[in-house]
Amino acid sequence: MTRSFVVAVLLVAALAFAGPKKKPAVKKPAPKLAYVSLAAVSDSTNAPNAKESARAALERSLSMWAPVELAPGGETDASATKAITTKKAVGLELSLTLKSGRGDSLDASLIRSSYPGRALEGEYRAGASGAPVLELIGPVVDQLVSELAKDQLWQRAP
C-alpha cells in the first residue's frame, strides 16, 4: 500500500472516532394535570336527548385520558383558581356544539378556552354520517377529544 493511502485511512479513522457525539435524548416534560371545566353543550340537531348524550359522551371520553380531572359543575372562578394553583394544573374549559348536516349526519366542534379566564385557545371539528344523530355523537366526541389529547400531550389512562 502506498503511504498516502495509509495516511488517508488513518485520518478517516481518527475523524470517525473524534466525530460528533450523539446528544442524549431530551425527555419531554410530563404534561401538567388538566383541570377541565365543561361548559354547556349547544345543540341544534333537534334530536331528543342529544345534549345529555353529548355531555355524557364528553365526560366518558375525557375519563379515558391522563392527566385529566373534571372540575365540579357550578364552580366559582375563585374556587377554580385555588384548585388549579393547589394542584399545579392547567385550567381548560370545553364547549361542545352539535349541528345537523344533510340527512343522517352530525357536525360538531369543541372549543378549548383557558379556565377560569375563558380566553379562546383552540377549536376542533369533526363530523360523521350514515346513522341517526344519537348514534353518531359518541364516535364524533371521541374524535374531538382525541385531537385535543394529542395537542395537550395526554396519554391513555391506565
Q: Going from the first residue of the chain to its last (158 residues), give the mean pLDDT of each consecutive group of 10, the final group possibly shorter.
A: 59 57 69 93 93 97 96 96 96 96 88 96 96 95 97 92
Q: Which domains does the chain carry? A: 34-156 (3.40.50.10610)
> What is the CA 140 to chain-centroid distance, rounded?
14
Residue 22: per-residue pLDDT = 66
Q: How far is CA 96 from CA 26, 44, 54, 57, 151, in A?
A: 36, 11, 8, 11, 17
Residue 88: per-residue pLDDT = 96
Residue 103: per-residue pLDDT = 72
Q: How far is CA 62 from CA 6, 12, 101, 151, in A?
A: 65, 56, 25, 14
Angle, in degrees to the nearest 10, between helices 50-62 and 133-152: 30
> What is the CA 47 to chain-centroid distance, rounded?
27
**Residue 129 and residue 105 in contact, taking contact as beta carbons nearer than 8 Å:** yes
Residue 157: per-residue pLDDT = 87
User: Could you tell me where the DSSP H helices lie in the chain?
Assistant: 3-18, 50-62, 77-87, 133-152
Q: How far apart are CA 122 and CA 116, in angstroms?
A: 15
Residue 125: per-residue pLDDT = 97
> What is the CA 136 to chain-centroid distance, rounded?
20
**Residue 141 and residue 58 in contact, taking contact as beta carbons nearer than 8 Å:** yes
Residue 21: per-residue pLDDT = 62
Residue 16: per-residue pLDDT = 58
Region of 142 on the Ramachandran plot (φ > 0 left; ψ -120 to 50 alpha; else beta): alpha
- The answer, as to whether pTM is greater than 0.85, is no
